Structure 1
Amino acid sequence: MKEKKKLLNSKSLLFCIVSISLCLSVGACSKNESDVVLTLPSEEVPMTTAACVPGDIEALRAIAKANPEAHLFEGDEPGQWKKINLKWVKGVDGKYAVSELQVKEGVEIADFVLNLDGSKKTNILFSSLQCLDIVSATIKEITVFNQPALKTVRINGEGKAQVEDINVQGGEALKEITIEGMPNVTTLLLGGNAIEKILLADLPKLQEQSNLKFRNGYDADGNQVEDTAVKELTLKGDIKSLNGLYLTGLGLERFTLQASLPELVSLTLNNNKLSGSLEIKGLEKLQTLFLSNNELSSVSVSGCPALTEFDASANKGLSDFSLSLPALKVLDLNETAVSALDLSSFANLKKVSAYNAKLTSVKLSSQNTKLSGINLSNNQLPEITFPKEVSAIYLLTMNNNSMNSLDLSRMSLLERVSVNDNKLETLRVPEGAEDFELLECKNNHLTAKLLREIKKTLTELSRWDIAPQRLLARADVQKKQIDASEEINELNLTPIVQKFNGKQWTDAVVSEFVQKGGIYTFGGKGKYRVICTDLGFQDWKFDVFSNADPYFIGEIEV
């Protein structure tokens, strides 16, 4: 009984030891530093280098050779290597391979150089390395290149490391990169075609936009691939020297800005997958902000007094935006879901573009004196009013809206106007506009009389596109009449009467209608129209109307 009791006590003691070990073990390369990941008490450590994958031993010896402390992996007993922690995994062939390489906080390796270049040129290649975790104030050089199994990279210089350039290029396995506490880093190159998360923190000397690059990664065979993917990017802490951030085409789904960026001048996030709401604030030197081709629904920008150019185009669900930008000069909201646009407070605005949006209203004010270019085509605008102070516009494009009148009479600097495919019945143009060279206003309801007045006023036109035009309220179905009295009696035009034969329009038989005082009355049956192909612009160099694009006076079916 005593022997059995001793045995039970031994088992209990063993259970307690294992339990305590499990509770104290923490994964150094866990996905979230705040998570506690339980692991086995300890991995197996190979007794000799003969039990290891030869390529891994060669890679370790190459690391040692590049360092002043060449003894880092000296001898044939891996269990005796202390300064750099290694974790091993045993393969199906019975050989041990390095799975994690770690330098813990407080461990000093003078002028530490870590060159993991797995290219064919140097072939420092680990077969199963999944995690690289370096916390060292003595890092001198870091290169990580084409390690096929590498999933996680964390490099922390403890705010003291002297390294200036960091290059981390992964393959299909690389998911997370953290670079932090690097006071002297000026160039940062990161790449991989499957990266999901990047954290950059406390990089105060990272300055040039061109020096922060996200390059394409490499596949398992070492071949460069085309796509770079970064799902999440976080900037934290002190990155006070960075003046430009160019993050385009990375597949970003989340961008978190918690860093001090007092020198940031340009921020580009085009062609990503950012969705939901995005807030940018407190960037006092920011001048350009580009967010095009994402999936954003709401954008708020404030505390950016120097911002002059904002582009959120091709965010097709973007319907809500708040911009407090006193210096704004260029605004691009093309291909969004914005329905109301209030420009009244942008005193420095020069160009605005919001074509293919959902606009039903646009508000201008006397403050918009610098506005010179507008493109609001393909919206649902019923009207737009230009205050008298808004007179500097030289380019106006408002095709395919619902406007029935437009007054441009105060805009003497106009050069080019396109208002095709509206419902215009009245169009006022400026007198004395010496540089007015192009007018496009086809597919509206403008009368020949008005067109003649426009032609007479705009003496410098080199091109105008006015055909076809389709007049309103000229056909009376009950009386079977079309009124062309203005064209015949005032303008001395000769209308053409046509009938539709089921396939095309042909000249109508004279006996089927009567014209009296410019009013056509139809006695036959079928679909008739009265058109003009010549508006009497004998001195005009363009043949603007034709049978294919006529001046429609009226159409009726009797």
Structure 2
Amino acid sequence: MKKNLFLLGCMTALTMLSFQSCSSDDVVLLKKPLQPTSVSSCAKGEIALLRKIAEDNNMSADFASEDPSAWKYDHLQVVWDTTAVNKTYYVKELRSVEGEAKGITTLKLNDERNNFRSLERIEMKNAQLKSFSVANAPRLRTIIINGKGLNAENTELTSIDIHDLPQLDSLHIENLPKLSTTSADERFNIDAFYQYPKLAYVGIVNTGIKELSVDPTKPLKELKLSGNKQIKGLTLAEVALSDLTFNAETYPLLENLALRKLKEGKSKDLIISGLSSLTNVGIYHSNWLSKAEVSGCSNLKELTLNNCGLTEETCKLSNLPHLTTLNLDGNDFTSINLAHLETVKNLDLKNNKLTTTDNMVLSKAVEKLPLQGNENLQKVDLTPYKKLWLINVNGYKRGQDAADHQHPLALANVNLSGLTALVSVRLNNNSLPAIFDGKAKYPELETLEAEYNAITPIGMVNIANSLENRRRDVDFKLNYQTFAVEVKEEKTVDYSVVHNFFEKEGESLSFNVKGSDGSAASVDSYTYTNGVFTFKKAGSYKLSSNSFSDIFRGTYNYDSAVFTIQ
């Protein structure tokens, strides 16, 4: 009896040990799969859907029996689940069978009224698939399509159609060398238009996609891209990438690269190098980058690195012999040397942290130069760049696209001498007393905007002297000047140069003199002769004039700041 008890105890212990060694997956395998024994116990319409799939794939015999437990799963496997109350069976998963000449060639499930209502997973792992269209499956969470191994080159699938899948959170596509588009698009798109708002993971591996755009409704948790060596155009938005290296090994045919609002991933170093076909790069709103290096791209023409937190130390650009457009808007440059980029014509440096152009060395080829948004800029000297025809140094706060007229910026020194190719100059909302010196001529100028500045009467005359075609061809905006008045020791203010200019033009110069309270100054407090004021009484005064509207069409609100006579 004791011997029997001992043996029983040993067997019990072994049994317990056996169960403890099983993983959770092993336990699942031990469970008997759910199988309906009659089509009458299955969800309404789902048997017809399965048999339609079988018919489309010339395998109707597989699902012919009225007893689904007797079905053949030689091509397509069905995973069933059931409700706890009335034991109605429904399709939970569809899986193709792997192997030579197995699996299915066509899967079409996109009828909004007649579809699997509880289908959660589709897994196609075979090389025979030619057509895939899935939509309006309300509980579908996972789609996996894999051409599988050595037979992948035989896969005929060129396009997939997936949309209106409210629960889809995972999409993985792999080993499909002929796959290139989605739906009727000319590219492969993963974006909000296709209505899968919960998408969190996308894997695209070893495909034939040439143009890829990933711009989902909300940021992905993971994007896996590898082996897609046919890609020529790549657009990614609000995704995290584990590798920010783009080179001839990973994307040998890449022509256009656009990365927008990337989420911080494992790598913070953007490296683009050795891509001979690359012509256009745009990186936007990724201010967590630790560096950006772009080099050895012999045909790159346009490069944009916007709002990436870059400085001269963290932005390295080299060996770009055909680069003509460089946009560095919204970074943190306090100095910059781009002299080695000899072909750059269009350079955008707005919304950086420049304080003077003395810290700026550019290509002599530069033609267009926006600098607005460098709100601490004190000095602008652009005389080395003789090919400039467009300049914009509007006094905007960083990141703003409109001026705060109550608070003009402090920029008071601009030198544009010798820039005879100028066509458009915008300098609004600064503190400039002058723009031109009155000696150099600007025969090509068509637009001059310098509203809300401090241009003196002599500064206005210098503008007129520099623009021989001002009355006919130039679009002026010189309103709202508040200029400083220089009072000499003899208590005089000398605008005789301005008076003489007006006489030569056949126009008359006049000023209104007011006290600090805005009322007209008494006639015995000053004299005015040929442009020269002599003040006889101490006090605070202010000058204004409407005469400049005769020189610069329609100029108004031309006033001085308040000045004091001791």
TM over 0.5: yes
CA distance in 1, matches of 2:8, 2:70: 32
Q: Deviations over 1:448-479 (max 9, x none)?
A: 22321321221123222223333447369xx9
In the other structure, the counterpart of 2:402 is none
How many equivalent pairs are there? 509
In the other structure, the counterpart of 1:509 is 522
In the other structure, the counterpart of 2:239 is 252
Residue of 355, 369, 373 corresponding to 1:378: 373
* 8 Å contact from structure 1 (residues 193, 229) kept in 2: no
CA distance in 2, matches of 1:470, 1:371: 33
Structure 1 runs of 4+ with >6 Å offset: 513-517
Residue 368 of structure 1 and its aligned partner are, at CA, apart by 1.9
* 8 Å contact from structure 2 (residues 485, 493) kept in 1: no
Residue 302 of structure 1 and its aligned partner are, at CA, apart by 1.9
Q: 1:466 to 1:47 in 2, by over 3 A?
A: closer
In the other structure, the counterpart of 2:31 is 42
Q: Deviations over 1:286-330 (max 9, x none)?
A: 2112233555555514243322212343x3856654433443222
Report the 3-state secondary structure (helix = DSSP H, G, I; strand = E; otherwise coil) of the residue aligned with 2:81: strand
CA distance in 1, matches of 2:6, 2:100: 46
CA distance in 2, matches of 1:353, 1:418: 14
In the other structure, the counterpart of 1:101 is 94
1:416 and 2:410 aligned: no
Q: 1:43 to 1:349 in 2, by over 3 A?
A: farther
CA distance in 2, matches of 1:552, 1:56: 84
* 8 Å contact from structure 1 (residues 399, 419) kept in 2: yes
Residue 484 of structure 1 and its aligned partner are, at CA, apart by 1.6
Q: Deviations over 1:233-265 (max 9, x none)?
A: 33201x2222212345xx434475677222221
Report the 3-state secondary structure (helix = DSSP H, G, I; strand = E; otherwise coil) of the residue aligned with 1:153: strand
1:242 and 2:231 aligned: yes
CA distance in 1, matches of 2:97, 2:73: 11
Which shows bigger deviation, 145-154 or 293-302?
Answer: 293-302
CA distance in 1, matches of 2:157, 2:18: 42
CA distance in 2, matches of 1:347, 1:289: 18
Q: 1:23 to 1:232 in 2, by over 3 A?
A: closer
The one-letter amino acid of 2:555's match is V
Residue 376 of structure 1 and its aligned partner are, at CA, apart by 1.0
Calculate the aligned-residue CA RMSD, in Å.
Answer: 3.6
The one-letter amino acid of 1:450's match is G
Residue 490 of structure 1 and its aligned partner are, at CA, apart by 6.3
Residue of 508, 533, 536 corresponding to 2:546: 533
* 8 Å contact from structure 1 (residues 309, 328) kept in 2: yes
Which shows bigger deviation, 109-118 or 369-378?
Answer: 109-118
In the other structure, the counterpart of 2:515 is 499
In the other structure, the counterpart of 1:173 is 167
CA distance in 2, matches of 1:496, 1:431: 31
* 8 Å contact from structure 1 (residues 22, 41) kept in 2: no
The one-letter amino acid of 1:383's match is K
Report the 3-state secondary structure (helix = DSSP H, G, I; strand = E; otherwise coil) of the residue aligned with 1:139: coil
- Percent of aligned positions that are identical: 22
The one-letter amino acid of 1:343's match is L
Residue of 456, 463, 467 corresponding to 1:447: 456
In the other structure, the counterpart of 1:456 is 465
Residue 417 of structure 1 and its aligned partner are, at CA, apart by 0.8
* 8 Å contact from structure 2 (residues 103, 125) kept in 1: no
CA distance in 1, matches of 2:498, 2:417: 28
Q: 1:332 to 1:457 in 2, by over 3 A?
A: same
1:206 and 2:209 aligned: yes
1:311 and 2:304 aligned: yes
Residue 202 of structure 1 and its aligned partner are, at CA, apart by 0.9
CA distance in 2, matches of 1:175, 1:509: 81
CA distance in 1, matches of 2:18, 2:50: 33
Alignment of 1:61-100 (within 5 A): 61-75=51-65, 76-78=67-69, 81-83=72-74, 84-93=76-85, 94-100=87-93
Residue of 187, 192, 199 corresponding to 1:195: 199
Alignment of 1:20-35 (within 5 A): 20-22=21-23, 25=26
Any gaps of 5 or more consecutive residues in structure 1?
A: 26-37, 217-226
CA distance in 1, matches of 2:356, 2:134: 54
Residue 428 of structure 1 and its aligned partner are, at CA, apart by 3.3
Q: 1:231 to 1:312 in 2, by over 3 A?
A: farther
What is the TM-score of this pair, normalised by structure 1?
Answer: 0.79
CA distance in 1, matches of 2:98, 2:491: 92
1:474 and 2:486 aligned: yes
Any gaps of 5 or more consecutive residues in structure 2?
A: 183-187, 396-408, 503-508
Report the 3-state secondary structure (helix = DSSP H, G, I; strand = E; otherwise coil) of the residue aligned with 1:195: coil
Q: 1:450 to 1:256 in 2, by over 3 A?
A: same
Residue 79 of structure 1 and its aligned partner are, at CA, apart by 6.7
Q: 1:289 to 1:232 in 2, by over 3 A?
A: farther
Report the 3-state secondary structure (helix = DSSP H, G, I; strand = E; otherwise coil) of the residue aligned with 2:442: coil
* 8 Å contact from structure 1 (residues 74, 81) kept in 2: no
Q: 1:262 to 1:73 in 2, by over 3 A?
A: same
Report the 3-state secondary structure (helix = DSSP H, G, I; strand = E; otherwise coil) of the residue aligned with 1:428: coil
CA distance in 1, matches of 2:452, 2:203: 55
